[in-house]
């Protein structure tokens, strides 16, 4: 696929996989994806598996991501993980503001912005998640919600930092439900986000930022989604927990 932006497909394992299971999964992925060079491929295990997975993929084309991080570098923040701790395991990417954290941990756009800035300060690439609920889409609020989340969550980033940020558009109603936005819905949302980036920065920056789609991505719909002009990859949940399905998503996207 000839795109000006390199596809990036990341697997968000969420709260799944023991260390042993994680190692089984990445061993399978290393075999399945050994010859893929056209896509940036990222696995995001739970914190407990980062160390072992980091070692296991050292000699591969897979890259390591974390599922969250604190905006603080050190201190009395029980249960939090700092960027410097992630860097010890050669983590390169970090998911911020996933809809589950926005919903269950009440994370705000302002908090996500601070975390994105902290990630860049540590030379980590944030994957910043945005997306509307079903009620918001049915009320024709999609663009309003995206505008608020994109502007708020990326506030304070320089143009250089913006280029190194990945945005994941995840319609909340499509996450883990089996429902997928139509290719037209996905493309419209991605194009709208790119338009916002042009307003916030400029057209040149907007064209360079990669925007992933997330929400029930599977091998059967990957090719059609990735063929859209403004869809630059995927943030995959459930289908990333099995090596064959995640590998097939990647192979079908090329």
- Clarify whether 98 is annotated catalytic: yes
Burial 224-246 (b: 16+ CB within 10 A, else e): ebbebebbbbbbbbbbbbebebb
Catalytic residue among 71, 100, 107, 170: 170
What residue has token string 């040149």? 204
Cα-to-chain-centroid distance, residue 131: 12
Sign of the alpha-carbon dihedral angle for 238, 192, 220, 59:
negative
- Clarify whether 72 is annotated catalytic: no
Distance between CA atoms of 87 and 75, rounded to whole angstroms? 17
Distance between CA atoms of 216 and 37, rounded to whole angstroms? 24
In DSSP notation, 101-167 reads HHHHS---HHHHHHHHHHHHHTT-EEEEEE---HHHHHTT-HHHHHHHHHHHHTTT--HHHHHT-EE
Q: How many CB atoms lie within 10 A of CB 78?
A: 4
What are the start-end ranges of the H helices in the chain?
A: 19-32, 50-56, 83-87, 99-104, 109-121, 134-138, 142-153, 159-163, 183-200, 203-208, 219-226, 243-253
Catalytic residue among 71, 98, 120, 190: 98
Catalytic residue annotation: 98, 170
């Amino acid at each position: 696929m000839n795109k000006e932006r390199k596809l990036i497909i990341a697997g968000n394992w969420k709260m799944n996989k023991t260390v042993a299971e994680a190692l089984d999964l990445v061993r399978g992925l290393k075999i399945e994806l050994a010859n893929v060079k056209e896509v940036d491929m990222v696995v995001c295990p739970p914190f407990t598996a980062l160390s072992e997975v980091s070692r296991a993929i050292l000699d591969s084309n897979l890259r390591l991501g974390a599922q969250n991080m604190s905006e603080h570098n050190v201190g009395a923040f029980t249960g939090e993980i700092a960027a410097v701790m992630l860097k010890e395991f050669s983590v390169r990417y970090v998911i911020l503001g996933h809809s589950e954290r926005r919903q269950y941990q009440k994370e705000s756009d302002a908090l996500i912005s601070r975390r994105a800035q902290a990630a860049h300060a540590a030379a980590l690439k944030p994957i910043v998640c945005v997306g509307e609920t079903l009620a918001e889409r049915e009320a024709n609020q999609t663009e309003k919600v995206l505008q608020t989340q994109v502007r708020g969550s990326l506030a304070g980033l320089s143009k250089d930092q913006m280029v190194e940020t990945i945005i994941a558009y995840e319609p909340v109603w499509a996450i883990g439900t089996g429902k997928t936005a139509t290719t037209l819905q996905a493309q419209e949302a991605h194009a709208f986000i790119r338009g916002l980036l042009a307003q916030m920065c400029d057209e040149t920056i907007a064209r360079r930022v990669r925007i992933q789609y997330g929400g029930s991505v599977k091998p059967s719909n990957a090719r059609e989604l990735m063929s859209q002009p403004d869809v630059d990859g995927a943030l995959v949940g459930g289908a990333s927990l099995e090596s064959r399905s995640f590998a097939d998503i990647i192979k079908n996207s090329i």
